[in-house]
Amino acid sequence: MFVADGLTEPQPILSMPGVVQHTRDSLRKAAAEAVDLGVGGLMLYGVPRTEDKDASGSVGIAEDGILNVALRDLFADLGDATVLMADTCLDEFTDHGHCGVLDDQGRVDNDATNARYVELAVAQANSGAHVVAPSGMMDGQVGAIRDGLDDAGRTDVAILAYAAKFASAFYGPFREAVSSSLVGDRRTYQQDPRNAREAIHEIELDIDEGADIVMVKPAMSYLDVVRAAADISPVPVAAYQISGEYSMICAAAANGWIDLQASAVESLIGIRRAGADIVLTYWAADAASWLA
């Protein structure tokens, strides 16, 4: 779910039919409805005002930043009735749109970024997140966050590591959803779509660093990686059915080429069949109703 600062009404995301940028109030209503339907957890993304973005993504750490405020709202409403998960990344909050802090040559600084991720994770944990989800694909991010959470006394907070996140062509609608400022791409720190072996190595590294869940993103074009991860992982494996995967099924159904519900359910079954224990999908509330 996406929650945006400064909105008075939910804002439809044009490239993702049925998905919106929520206000704080509409998020609370939609979250309660999802939990009532039986959705197992909520992944939250914050969308700040453009003028609040800066080079280091400080609004993501700020106590009054939209993501941390929304986490407190949902924790107050729902408590432990669901699993509150927070995207632990800087891309929504930076004025350059990259997932990390940039050096003086405009390159993502891995170690400086990890230090910011620790601050993000602690802020999110203190705001009510049960799970933090580092998605920037920095080397060592899981270990740094685990140490930071432990030092802050938040040993109870789990880490869902985006362990194999590929530089995919299917992210376009998501960038509209988070009002991304990105110019260029993230190929220097996301995985090459052709390289499954490195992806498995990254998954193993995150497990060694203390990840409680490892995730493959995207899901549908990388079912072989999901299967390989499931074969080796001692912790649950998640797969993210991303915005482009969701939107292309919606578009085909809108043209009358396929049946929306049948195709969506089939796609989710395929991800589970490949070995995913957990599926992140924009159809979560719908699927809970369809499968009831």
CATH class of segment(s) 2-290: alpha beta
Taking residues 154-158, report their average pLDDT: 97
Taking residues 80-89, report their average pLDDT: 96
29 is catalytic: no
β-sheet bridge partners, residue 87:
133
pLDDT beyond 80 at 126: yes
Residue that has been written with the tokens 């991720």 in this structure:
117
pLDDT beyond 80 at 128: yes
Average per-residue pLDDT in the chain? 93
Euclidean distance between CA atoms 20 and 128, whole angstroms: 23
pTM (2 d.p.): 0.93
- For the chain, the structural domain boundaries read 2-290
Sheet hosting strand 11-12, strand order edge to edge: 11-12, 20-22, 2-4, 41-47, 83-88, 131-134, 158-165, 213-217, 237-240, 278-280
Give tens-digit pLDDT for 33-76: 999 999 999 999 999 999 999 998 999 999 999 999 999 999 99
Residue 185: predicted pLDDT: 63
Task: Give me the catalytic one of 28, 96, 130, 217.
Answer: 217
> What is the secondary structure of 144-165 as a DSSP string?
HHHHHHHHTT-TT-EEEEEEEE
On the CB side of 187, how many CA atoms lie within 13 Å of its CA? 9
Residue 106: predicted pLDDT: 84
pLDDT beyond 90 at 287: yes
Residue that has been written with the tokens 């600084």 in this structure:
109
pLDDT beyond 70 at 219: yes
Residue 183: predicted pLDDT: 60
Distance, CA of 156 to chain centre: 20
Secondary structure class of 10 (helix, strand, coil)? coil
Residue 182: predicted pLDDT: 58
Residue 31: predicted pLDDT: 98
Task: Give me the catalytic one of 4, 165, 222, 284.
Answer: 165
pLDDT beyond 80 at 176: no
Strands (E), the chain: 2-4, 11-12, 20-22, 41-47, 83-88, 131-134, 158-165, 213-217, 237-240, 278-280
